[in-house]
Amino acid sequence: MSYTVTLIPGDGIGPEVMAAAVRVLSATGVAFEWETEPAGIAAIGEHGVPLPPRTLESVRRNKVAFKGPTETPVAGGHRSVNVELRKKLDLYANLRPVETLPGVKSRYTDVDLIVVRENTEDLYSGLEHVVVPGVVESIKIITERASTRIALFAFEYARTHGRKRVTSVHKANIMKLSDGLFLDCCRTVAKQYPEVKYDEIIVDNCCMQLVLDPTRFDMLLLENLYGDIVSDLCAGFIGGLGMAPGANIGEHGALFEAVHGSAPDIAGKNLANPMAVILSGAMMLDHLKEHAAADRVRHAVHTVLREGTKLTRDLGGTAGTTEIAEAIAAKVTG
């Protein structure tokens, strides 16, 4: 059996880390047919747009995509390819596991958190306009439908993965209507899952509690913006962005990508840590029900980390992206 998967190399460190991940995935023996498609700045030159229709069609057809980071210009320029992809393909759930990895220096130990972020609305609806010169308005959209479905995703995940508690993160003391609606939906769904504990925390307090002791949380359920910020914060518990994998899941497809961006500061230098995309690849193997291969990839990453002789600069080592890929691939096959 061979899986046809859309492969989006992306911008900056994207092509390097994705090549590394493809190398490791091929070592598992699971057969992939990669449909390489452009997106991001890399696509603009040839196709005139950051998200060409052929890329979208490829993901729609294959229902599984493996994506490198794409660059989003700050203020002005094109809209985020990630936001477009998630909306157009209705990949409504962003799943980001945050787990302490062996051998990685961190002030935190035993972190084992699941961050579930709503992916399609909130302040990412892209509705911004100038009211009068000097005054702009950005519209936050929260709907009952999207809030209920992300809550269902989180509780279903808790039930199927043996998680004990879901904590909704909000600012409903200030945004009483929008975050209030989000909480109402979460509470209604929580009642259908009596075996999973449910509680709530205000987002600023959540950040403080996380920094003090991330082990007091099990699963965090957040709207889009809070989820974006809090998941980067959580990546800091496990050695930084180079270690944090992620998945975007919808009813008709799934896209796997690391939490980190295109890191233009280190692009093209063979310095990027490929572990986050490799671990995202393991999540993709799980999604394809290739659980044994997924476990082998994770185990190989853990072994390389534990040995500590092949680490990229962000983890205090001197090894390059390609060297790490070879070391992990050797453990997968060995």
Indicate which residues carry an active-site annotation. 124, 171, 204, 228
The least distance separating ligand ATP from the CB of residue 237, rounded to whole angstroms, comes to 15
Q: Residue 284 has which token pair? A: 């993709």
Rounded CA-CA distance 177/11 in Å is 38
Q: Residue 220 has which token pair? A: 């965090």
Q: Is residue 266 at the binding interface for ligand ATP, with CB under 6 A as the rule?
A: yes
Phi first, then psi, for residue 158 (nearest 5°) are -60, -45
Q: Which residues pair with 8 in a beta bridge?
A: 67
Q: From 112-120, 144-152, 271-279, 299-307, give the range in contact with ligand ATP by CB under 6 A.
A: 271-279
Q: What percent helix, strand, coil does the chain show, rounded to 5?
A: 45, 20, 35
Rounded CA-CA distance 4/31 in Å is 9
Please work out the total of residues on this chain that contact ligand ATP, with binding judged by CB under 6 A. Answer: 16
The least distance separating ligand ATP from the CB of residue 161, rounded to whole angstroms, comes to 26
Q: Is residue 67 at the binding interface for ligand ATP, with CB under 6 A as the rule?
A: no
Q: Is residue 114 at the binding interface for ligand ATP, with CB under 6 A as the rule?
A: no
Q: From 38-46, 106-114, 161-169, 264-272, give the range in contact with ligand ATP by CB under 6 A.
A: 264-272
Binders of ligand ATP among residues 11 to 50 (CB under 6 A) are: 13, 17
Rounded CA-CA distance 147/50 in Å is 29
Residue from 273, 282, 296, 304 binding ligand ATP (CB under 6 A):
273
Residue from 8, 210, 234, 241 binding ligand ATP (CB under 6 A):
241
Half-sphere exposure of 230 (CA within 13 A, CB side): 35
Q: From 55-63, 96-104, 135-143, 262-270, give the range in contact with ligand ATP by CB under 6 A.
A: 262-270
DSSP-derived 3-state class of residue 77: coil
Asked if residues 125 and 140 have their Cβ atoms less than 8 Å apart, the reply is: yes
Query: Toward ligand ATP, which CB reaches closer, 166 or 241?
Result: 241
Q: Is residue 260 at the binding interface for ligand ATP, with CB under 6 A as the rule?
A: yes
**Short-list 34, 70, 74, CA closest to 52:** 70
Rounded CA-CA distance 197/189 in Å is 12
The residue of the chain with the least Cβ separation from ligand ATP equals 261
Q: From 23-31, 190-198, 263-271, 285-293, give the range in contact with ligand ATP by CB under 6 A.
A: 263-271
Binders of ligand ATP among residues 286 to 315 (CB under 6 A) are: 314
Q: Is residue 86 at the binding interface for ligand ATP, with CB under 6 A as the rule?
A: no
Sign of CA dihedral 272, 276, 281, 284: negative
Q: Is residue 195 at the binding interface for ligand ATP, with CB under 6 A as the rule?
A: no
Could you tell me the CA-to-CA distances from 331 to 14, 38, 276, 296 in Å, in that order?
A: 23, 31, 17, 8
Single-letter amino acid code for the residue at 76: G
Q: Is residue 276 at the binding interface for ligand ATP, with CB under 6 A as the rule?
A: yes
The least distance separating ligand ATP from the CB of residue 251, rounded to whole angstroms, comes to 26
Query: Toward ligand ATP, which CB reaches closer, 30 or 261?
Result: 261
Task: List residues binding ligand ATP (CB under 6 A).
Answer: 13, 17, 69, 72, 241-242, 260-263, 265-266, 272-273, 276, 314
